[in-house]
Amino acid sequence: RGGRRGGEGKKEEKEEGFVWADQPLEGNNNNNSKSNGTTTKPPQGIYYGIGEKQLEKAQEHCPEETQALVDICVKIHKREQAVHQIHLKRAEIRQKMGEERAKKSQKGQNLKESRNSLNGMFDEIRGLRDQLRGVDETLKRARGEKSKILREFPYKKQEDPEFFDKNDRIFDERIREYEVQVESNVSRPEEMKLLKKISEIKKNKQKLVGGYKKAKEEIEKGEAARTNLQFRINEVQKKIDELKGELDGGKKERGEMEDVYGGYLGQLKKLDAEEEKEREVLGGIRKEREVAVGAVNKKLDVYYEGVRVEKEKNRKEREKKKKEMEKRDEKRQKGDVKRGFKSEVERCEECRSYLQSYLVLFSSEEKGGREGERVLAHTPEIVENFEKLSLVIPRCGEEIEQALVDVGEKKKFYELIWELEKEEAKKEEKVEEKEGEKEEKEEEKEEKEEKEEKE
């Protein structure tokens, strides 16, 4: 009582006590705040300072005070609607400011990324140029090595397309000359000198040809690397030029955004001044509402006290009736004792027939196989049912105890049979395993003999 109405109370606290009502001020079309001196249903979407149920009770028990409260709250609501419109305008402006701020932030982020990219490209192009210098040095060294090797060949005309073939022939002729001398019965020391010269010519030829090929490969790789590096340098330079243009344009756009954002800030200041005026008026009307709520609550206190007294009186009457009913139940139970004897005898007969139907399953020891399995599978259920019967009907206790003994004996009998069957099955499995091992050994022996025969 005196608390805020669920949804509306929370809404009012949302913006310093103001209601965010979206329904008409006078509520339903057929209801007005005043009608021929009598109260009607108050308009919806308005906070009245007390809960909804309390307001209905107040309309019933103190209509004059309630109507005064409703009139004050309608005035407050109108002012709150005016403030609400200010809030909507402010929210709209703030949304636009947020969008503008997001654009500005995104633009700043883009500019920052562009600057970082530009710096990264500067670093990249410096690194590429360093690599290019290294490749040029390698090319220079390889070309010098190639020229040096070409000068050491016996045939000197490098522009001749048959340069290498002619050098090969010169080397081969020299080697052949020495070989011919070796074949012409020279002395052993002379032969060793000739063989040494042949070896030196071959080594020199291999060194020159190998060195030339290596230098040529280095030159080809270096030229390819240089072409690739130069292409990459040109591409990075293009990107640098493009980014510089984007940065200049982005700075100009961001300055324009700053101007738009400043205009929105000026509009917000005007709205703040308008809201301050409305708040001053609302402050006085809300004090009037507090007084009106206090008057309604006093009237309601009197009403609720009467309701409490009435509830207490009704509670005492209910307790009195309850005690009377308990006494009647005790008398009825005492009268039912004699009538209950007959029903207990009937249950005893039912128990005997139930017991007999289960004992029939164990009447023949010849029953085995699936019938025995079915009976044994239900043994726990049978035992549980017998135990329940022995607790409910004491007269059957001896017969049930004997039945439980019979059931237990039969269970042991079938379990013994099954254990023996399991042991026999295990023995057969062991025998089969041994026979399988023997067969495998014989097969291995035969395979071994076949291999030996083939060898």
Q: What is the DSSP string of 59-92?
A: HHH-HHHHHHHHHHHHHHHHHHHHHHHHHHHHHH
Distance CA 392, CA 315 (A): 41
pLDDT at 411: 56
Residue 45 · residue 22 · CB < 8 Å: yes
Distance CA 35, CA 329 (A): 58
Residue 114 · residue 83 · CB < 8 Å: no
Q: What are the start-end ranges of the H helices in 153-187?
A: 163-183
Q: What is the DSSP string of 382-436?
A: HHHHHHHHHHH-GGGHHHHHHHHHHHHHHHHHHHHHHHHHHHHHHHHHHHHHHHH
> In the beta sheet, which residues pair with residue 35?
38
Residue 104 · residue 254 · CB < 8 Å: yes
DSSP state of 19: -
CA quadruple 300, 306, 312, 318: dihedral sign: negative
DSSP state of 27: -
324-341: per-residue pLDDT in tens?
A: 777 766 665 555 443 443
> What does the domain layout of the chain look like in residue ranges?
1-322, 364-442
68-123: per-residue pLDDT in tens?
A: 888 888 888 888 888 888 889 889 988 988 888 888 888 788 888 888 888 888 88
Residue 31 · residue 40 · CB < 8 Å: yes
How many CB atoms are located within 10 Å of the residue 212 CB?
A: 18
Residue 138 DSSP SS3 = helix
Residue 49 · residue 73 · CB < 8 Å: yes
- Residue 105 C-alpha from the chain's centroid: 30
Low-confidence ranges of the chain (pLDDT < 70): 1-40, 153-164, 166-167, 185, 328-421, 450, 453-455
Residue type (1 letter), 238: K
- Residue 365 C-alpha from the chain's centroid: 65
How many CB atoms are located within 10 Å of the residue 130 CB?
A: 11
Distance CA 454, CA 203 (A): 53
Question: Any long-range contacts for 409-412 (C-beta under 8 Å, 24+ apart)?
Answer: 410/362, 410/375, 410/376, 411/376, 411/379
How many CB atoms are located within 10 Å of the residue 361 CB?
A: 18
pLDDT at 58: 84
pLDDT at 392: 47
